Chains A and B, each alone.
Chain A
Amino acid sequence: MANFFAAAIESERSEAATEASQATLCCCEYVAEDKQPFHMLGCCCNCEDFDLVCTRLITCKRIEQRNIDGMLIAFQDRLRLPWRGGAKRISPAALAPAFIVPLMMGLAALNAKTGIVLMLTLIGFTSWGLQLAERTATKTTFFLSWIVFSIVYMVVIFEFEVPLLELLPEENYILLLLSGGALYALYRTKKLAPLNLVTAQYGTTPKDELPGITEASSGEEQAEQQAATDTILGIDDDDDDGEGDDGEKAGLMQQHRGGQPNICESCRKVTPRRAYHCAVCGSCVKRRSHHSYWLNCCIGERNYRWYLFALALSECALLLGANLTLTAVCHPFLVVRLLGIPLLLPDDCSEVFEDFELGISFVVAAYAILISGYITFVLVRQLYLWYRGTTLHEFKRVKPSSSSGGIGNGSRNRVWSNWRAMLK
């Protein structure tokens, strides 16, 4: 097992080295399967397997499996997107949403019946897809790509199809700010995800995992290590800690000084407290909450705050966008005037499907409301767990064993220290 992991890391390093050596690739060039540089314009050249398959098909001869495999591998290898530093391979799963999403929206905008049917199909398909992903624990970019393309199409439809003459510029600016904030928070969540992974190997003495060791290292490493130790031990800068914290601190110190460091069986790494293994990421994650299939990363210690921001901001952006779109497209009525700002809600949407522009705006708004409903559920659950001072992983583990008694008097202290660590 250890050999396997060592070999995997070795191959990763070598690939990075070869990539570094070929940093002079233009954006349309890439390194093909046979390790030779290739250009995107040559995508139709040298398709031996494909030629063979087609010839055999036309002349009604038997087609060999290895030719089909070679053909499919060549397709996958040559389907690329121009990117800085070399063309990047696109997986079909990542590209599919670019076509599925607008197709679905367009069909749903034709009339009310197709709209309802397609929205229900969407919900069913998404739940099935998520369950499938959870069951097989696959790491796929399909859902992330789905989110990205949904956002792109929603913004495009809003800015170009919705009757904007009925909106004030300030309403548009607020929507853009909220959307921009949500996208930035999502980007940070994803960017910080690799920092959650536990990197120490079994058998080595990881200086950044054991407490109290401060060697002459770079400033960043030291700060990270300091932060790691602080979060492990719950040490805070503030003075107004309760005594409960001292008790927990003492307990932890004892555990680390006296006992063995925790070792994860699945990935054979030395893990700090409250780090759990994620089958999809293939590693232990510090204070793991859950693996988010939508963002294709684990939510843990470093990006939990950004994750909550992203959820809250995108909820606001989606609801505001849906409200603006629906009140512009349907007949609105005034509910109440808050501080001079009128709150409008749509009351009559019967003429929406007569015009394709209005129809697609309505469908996009309904889609945004569905998404925001789902986000509400996720957000409420996360906030409840945050209030209780636990993470989703621990909540799910603790619940069936009903060891609520075991949490006991340490729970309030843990809540307090959890909050502080979260807000740091």
Chain B
Amino acid sequence: MLIRLCQHNFHIFDLLVFSAAITLIVYISLPQRFALRYDYIPQEHFEESLLAATTPNISASQLAPDCSYKEVIADSRFVYDAFHREKIHRGEEIRLGGEYQPEDCRPRFSTAIIVPYRDRQEQLAAFLSYMHNYLRMQFIHYRIFVVEQSDRKPFNRAMLFNIGAKVAASYDYPCLILHDVDLMPLNSGQIYACSKLPRHMSSALDSWRFHLPYRTLFGGVVAMSMSQYNMVNGMSNLYHGWGGEDDDLYERLKVLGVDICRFDPAYSEYTMLKHKQETPNENRLALLRAASLRMHSDGLNSLVYKEVERRMHSLFTHILVET
């Protein structure tokens, strides 16, 4: 059972084993099976990539000098420790509704942080106490909006984001950060402000070994300017249940030719609090396939909900809605 190739005799056994080994090695080494290295904005270009926009009351009032963000970025360090997590220091600085602006300097960025929520009390408590300590280190003007779904239908994260965006727009916030309640930034240099392109902030999640599984991942924490959010008509309201709505948002941006950006992975490290694995929504793949077609009819302009309650807590603005 010899085969003649290139003037040498090879036994078929050897050839089979050799080709099987080669196939196996090639398959194992394919880069697509692994996480990828992605393009990101390097640390030197952080500040210039950010969109300086504030709410009207900020620009009008203050005579203080502009806040400097260079040191905030350059002195970025690991701050997810017990000191910052346990309780809120100097809580009297935070105004009713969970709003804060720095006293000594004039902030250049105003951010509305939208947090969809239902039933995870411990995570919300941990989130609030850590984030208020964290964000005040960045000298930005921010306000935390917690949008809670009061009914027991499947959790519709995208619709809650749409509702939060509408409320934030009524307060004239130019920048939105769509934030999951179980994610927390580890390093202090991730400025919570919008950049010129929509930014995927949570690109180095600790439960994924600080790597990005795939380039089009757009879930977790996303920074998008209000104008861009309106341009894509917000997010789709049809994703009842877990999964797909962040990919849908990515598709909408792609239709308009808007790419997404990410900061340097060292600044984008986030930790995810433990939670029970949700069952994926079966419809999400079908909805995702038609994402680009639904863009102009399904989103902010088709938003139907009932606002049950709006309350100003000391740490956040609470919007209770029925979807």
A residues lining the B interface (CB < 8 Å): 26-27, 84, 159, 164-169, 171-173, 176, 327-328, 331-334, 342, 344, 348, 351, 354
Beta-carbon contact of A331 and B35 below 8 Å? no
Beta-carbon contact of A167 and B13 below 8 Å? no
Given A84-B11, A84-B13, are A166 and B29 also a contact pair (CB < 8 Å)? no
A-contacting residues, B53-89, CB 8 Å:
none
The proximity string for B residues 183-222 relative to A, scoring 1 for CB distances below 8 Å and 0 otherwise, is 0000000000000000000000011111101100000000
Q: Which residues from B are CB-within-8-Å of A348?
A: 274
Q: Which residues from B are CB-within-8-Å of A332?
A: 206-207, 209
A361 CB to nearest B CB, Å: 14
Beta-carbon contact of B213 and A333 below 8 Å? no
Checking A166, A172, A173, A176 against B209 with a beta-carbon cut-off of 8 angstroms, the contacting residue is A166
Beta-carbon contact of B209 and A169 below 8 Å? no
Q: Which residues from A are CB-within-8-Å of B213?
A: 165-166
- B34 on interface, CB distance cutoff 8 Å: yes
Q: Which residues from A are CB-within-8-Å of B25?
A: 176
B202 CB to nearest A CB, Å: 15
Q: How many residues of B contact A (CB 8 A)?
A: 23
Chain B residue at smallest Cβ distance from A331: B207
Beta-carbon contact of B274 and A331 below 8 Å? yes
Chain B residue at smallest Cβ distance from A84: B13
Beta-carbon contact of B28 and A172 below 8 Å? yes
Chain B residue at smallest Cβ distance from A344: B209
Given A176-B28, A348-B274, are A168 and B37 also a contact pair (CB < 8 Å)? yes
Beta-carbon contact of A167 and B206 below 8 Å? no
Q: Which residues from B are CB-within-8-Å of A165?
A: 33-35, 208, 211, 213-214
A359 CB to nearest B CB, Å: 14
State the CA gap A332–B272 with chains docked (Å).
11
A153 CB to nearest B CB, Å: 15
State the CA gap A351–B269 with chains docked (Å).
22
Chain A residue at smallest Cβ distance from B11: A84
Q: Which residues from A are CB-within-8-Å of B210?
A: 334, 342, 344
Checking A26, A166, A169, A342 against B31 with a beta-carbon cut-off of 8 angstroms, the contacting residue is A169
Q: Which residues from A are CB-within-8-Å of B256?
A: none
B residues lining the A interface (CB < 8 Å): 1, 11, 13-14, 25, 28-29, 31, 33-35, 37, 206-211, 213-214, 269, 274, 277
Beta-carbon contact of A176 and B211 below 8 Å? no
State the CA gap A167–B29 with chains docked (Å).
12
A140 CB to nearest B CB, Å: 26
Beta-carbon contact of A169 and B13 below 8 Å? no
B49 CB to nearest A CB, Å: 23
Q: Which residues from A are CB-within-8-Å of B29?
A: 169, 172-173, 176
B63 CB to nearest A CB, Å: 43
Q: Which residues from A are CB-within-8-Å of B206?
A: 331-334
State the CA gap A353–B222 with chains docked (Å).
32
Beta-carbon contact of B33 and A164 below 8 Å? yes
B253 CB to nearest A CB, Å: 23
Q: Which residues from A are CB-within-8-Å of B277?
A: 351, 354
Chain B residue at smallest Cβ distance from A155: B28
State the CA gap A84–B210 with chains docked (Å).
48
State the CA gap A101–B218 with chains docked (Å).
41
Given A331-B207, A332-B209, are A166 and B35 also a contact pair (CB < 8 Å)? yes
Q: Which residues from B are CB-within-8-Å of A159?
A: 28
Chain A residue at smallest Cβ distance from B78: A334
Checking B1, B208, B209 against A26 with a beta-carbon cut-off of 8 angstroms, the contacting residue is B1
Other than the known A169-B34, A331-B207, what 5 A-B pairs have Cβ atoms closer than 8 Å? A159-B28, A331-B206, A332-B207, A334-B206, A334-B210
4 nearest A-B pairs in the assembled complex, by CB-CB distance: A165-B213, A169-B31, A169-B34, A166-B209
Beta-carbon contact of B211 and A166 below 8 Å? yes
State the CA gap A16–B277 with chains docked (Å).
63
A100 CB to nearest B CB, Å: 24
Q: Which residues from B are CB-within-8-Å of A342?
A: 210
Beta-carbon contact of B34 and A168 below 8 Å? yes
B65 CB to nearest A CB, Å: 35
Checking A172, A333, A351 against B34 with a beta-carbon cut-off of 8 angstroms, the contacting residue is A172
Q: Which residues from B are CB-within-8-Å of A328?
A: 209
A189 CB to nearest B CB, Å: 21
Q: Which residues from A are CB-within-8-Å of B207?
A: 331-332
Chain B residue at smallest Cβ distance from A354: B277
Checking B11, B34, B214 against A167 with a beta-carbon cut-off of 8 angstroms, the contacting residue is B34
Chain B residue at smallest Cβ distance from A27: B13
Q: List 26 A-B contacts (CB under 8 A).
A: A26-B1, A27-B13, A84-B11, A84-B14, A159-B28, A164-B33, A165-B34, A165-B208, A165-B211, A165-B214, A166-B213, A167-B34, A167-B35, A167-B211, A168-B35, A168-B211, A169-B31, A172-B28, A176-B25, A331-B206, A332-B206, A333-B206, A334-B206, A342-B210, A344-B210, A354-B277
Chain B residue at smallest Cβ distance from A337: B266
State the CA gap A48–B92 with chains docked (Å).
95
Beta-carbon contact of A167 and B1 below 8 Å? no
Q: Which residues from B are CB-within-8-Å of A351?
A: 274, 277
State the CA gap A159–B208 with chains docked (Å).
17
Q: Which residues from A are CB-within-8-Å of B214?
A: 165
Q: Which residues from B are CB-within-8-Å of A327?
A: 209
Chain A residue at smallest Cβ distance from B33: A164
Q: Which residues from B are CB-within-8-Å of A168?
A: 34-35, 37, 211
Given A84-B13, A159-B28, are A167 and B209 also a contact pair (CB < 8 Å)? yes
A307 CB to nearest B CB, Å: 25
